[in-house]
A = this chain, B = another copy of it.
Amino acid sequence: MPAELAPIDLDKAGQEMYELVADLYPICRSITGHGVRETLRRIQKRIPLLLREVPTGTRVFDWTVPKEWNIRDAYVKDWRGERVIDFQKSNLHVVSYSVPVRARLPLDELRGHLFTLPEQPDLVPYRTSYYREAWGFCLAHRRLLELADGQYEVCVDASLEPGHLTYGECHLPGETSEEVLISCHVCHPSLCNDNLSGIALSTLLAERLASRSCRYSYRFLFVPGTIGAITWLSQNEGAVERIRHGLVVTGVGDAGRITYKKSRRGDAEIDRAARHVLGRSGDDFEIREFSPYGYDERQFCSPGFDLPVGCLMRTPHGSYPQYHTSGDDLRFVHPSRLADSLAKCLQIFEVLEGNRTYVSQNPKCEPQLGRRGLYRAVGGQADPGQAEMAMLWVLNLSDGRHTLLDIAERSALPFSVVKRAADILGEHALLRESAGPSRALAERTGGRS
């Protein structure tokens, strides 16, 4: 990856991502339906995204693509005809995948279909009922307490019928067919951090990478959570062997510190690259061990695939009070945080792009750097600078068994400095690229499926 990837106008990128979040915010997305299609179409304006449609009933491993759900309107009216719960005001008010209903029923009976958060009485929760046919409404607990006894008119004007599951796929070819996978989920309605922030970051990332030549090919997935990832994996089993690194991007716009959750392997190259980048950022950060709960890393890291896919986020899901509530709105995400997440994402990919393995062409003793103009002329001074130290480290460890990231970690030097040293040494014919341990690993992984 060219060095120019890193210097990016972060203010501008942050603003653009925020505007994309705002643009997509009102759309009522679910795991299927027009909301996803409309979202993907707007992303298509920026990047070469293909929309894939998979018919209802398609078997995808242990699952089946569900019926397509579309909703036009939904409300609960009181006896005066006033909409006391109104889908038009917020799509969170309807339990996602609610079946159509038109009924009159007393408050006591209605209560069984209402979801609130008693401990956060001003927030509307986000609820779904994908795999059990039911209907329901979500509302602020304070609002529920205000509802008087009496008859209410309920309407969910939705359809749940055979159709398609829709997802988006954007493939950016690189120098090699080896791939980096970036995946985000697109199935949440008006929630900003949880789904829109990842969508926006993925979009700008793809936009940026599309304009450059990279070592790796990059594949972006914009998929409904769980069923979308399962569908893609089911229909692309052959493609999986090309994936060398992967990242699920989600919840990257809030004010919390950056968090990287490791792949199931725990020591995949992307795990080490992320740790290197976050550890040297100067910012607070957290590295989490893998767990089989979270986002679509659950599927990518299932034992039959065990892909080297981590997850980049800020505050992890479930650990901020606005999570899956109406509080996850446009005030909860920030252009500067989106930009910071994008920058760290690019830095991680920069490590992956540059993490090659070399063999010193002068393995016996040090080569004479001085006569090549690579070493200070006056001797006797104290320690050399970082650049000279990096050259010595690269020469010492370039035995075909250490990647540049290995060398950066052992020397405690920034990867970029080590990479630059390797580039200079390569220009002087002091290094030759080697298949290296990472390639050997990659081949083993690739040969797996």
Within residues 352 to 377 of chain A, which ones have a CB less than 8 A from any CB in chain B? 360, 362-368, 370-371, 377
Most chain B CB within 10 A, of A127, A380, A383, is at A380
Give 29 A-B contacts (CB < 8 Å), ordered by A residue. Answer: A60-B365, A61-B362, A61-B364, A62-B366, A63-B368, A95-B378, A115-B378, A126-B380, A128-B378, A128-B380, A130-B379, A132-B370, A226-B366, A230-B365, A230-B366, A233-B365, A292-B366, A292-B395, A293-B392, A299-B366, A302-B363, A302-B365, A302-B396, A303-B398, A303-B399, A304-B364, A323-B382, A324-B381, A324-B382
Q: Is A411 in contact with chain B by the CB < 8 A criterion?
A: yes
Question: Given the complex, which residues of B lie within 8 Å of A411, measured CB to CB?
Answer: 291
What is the interface size of chain A, counting residues whose CB is below 8 A from a CB of the partner? 64
Q: Is A318 in contact with chain B by the CB < 8 A criterion?
A: yes
In the bound complex, what is the Cα–Cα distance between A309 and B379 (angstroms)? 24
B318:A383 contact, CB within 8 angstroms: yes
A365:B234 contact, CB within 8 angstroms: yes
B62:A132 contact, CB within 8 angstroms: no
When C-beta atoms are compared, the residue in chain B nearest to A367 turns out to be: B62
Interface residues of A (CB under 8 A from B): 60-63, 95-96, 115, 125-132, 134, 226, 229-230, 233-234, 237, 264, 291-293, 298-299, 301-306, 318, 323-324, 360, 362-368, 370-371, 377-384, 389, 392-393, 395-399, 411
A131:B368 contact, CB within 8 angstroms: yes
In the bound complex, what is the Cα–Cα distance between A362 and B127 (angstroms)? 27
Which of B134, B230, B303, B395 touches A397 (beta carbons < 8 Å)?
B303
Q: With A324-B381, A379-B130 as given contacts, are A302 and B364 in contact (CB-CB < 8 Å)?
A: yes
Closest chain B CB from A217 CB (angstroms): 23
Closest chain B CB from A108 CB (angstroms): 20
In the bound complex, what is the Cα–Cα distance between A398 and B292 (angstroms)? 12
B324:A365 contact, CB within 8 angstroms: no
Question: Given the complex, which residues of B lie within 8 Å of A318, measured CB to CB?
Answer: 382-383
Which of B129, B378, B383, B398 touches A129 (beta carbons < 8 Å)?
B378
Question: Given the complex, which residues of B lie within 8 Å of A303, measured CB to CB?
Answer: 360, 363, 395-399
Which of B126, B233, B381 touches A364 (beta carbons < 8 Å)?
B233
Question: Given the complex, which residues of B lie within 8 Å of A132, measured CB to CB?
Answer: 370, 377
Q: With A365-B302, A368-B62, A370-B131 as given contacts, are A292 and B377 in contact (CB-CB < 8 Å)?
A: no
In the bound complex, what is the Cα–Cα distance between A115 and B292 (angstroms)? 63
Which of B130, B134, B304, B396 touches A363 (beta carbons < 8 Å)?
B304
Question: Given the complex, which residues of B lie within 8 Å of A370, measured CB to CB?
Answer: 131-132
In the bound complex, what is the Cα–Cα distance between A304 and B397 (angstroms)? 10
B293:A389 contact, CB within 8 angstroms: yes
Which of B226, B302, B362 touches A62 (beta carbons < 8 Å)?
B362
When C-beta atoms are compared, the residue in chain B nearest to A130 turns out to be: B379
Question: Given the complex, which residues of B lie within 8 Å of A393, measured CB to CB?
Answer: 291-292
A377:B129 contact, CB within 8 angstroms: yes
Closest chain B CB from A307 CB (angstroms): 11
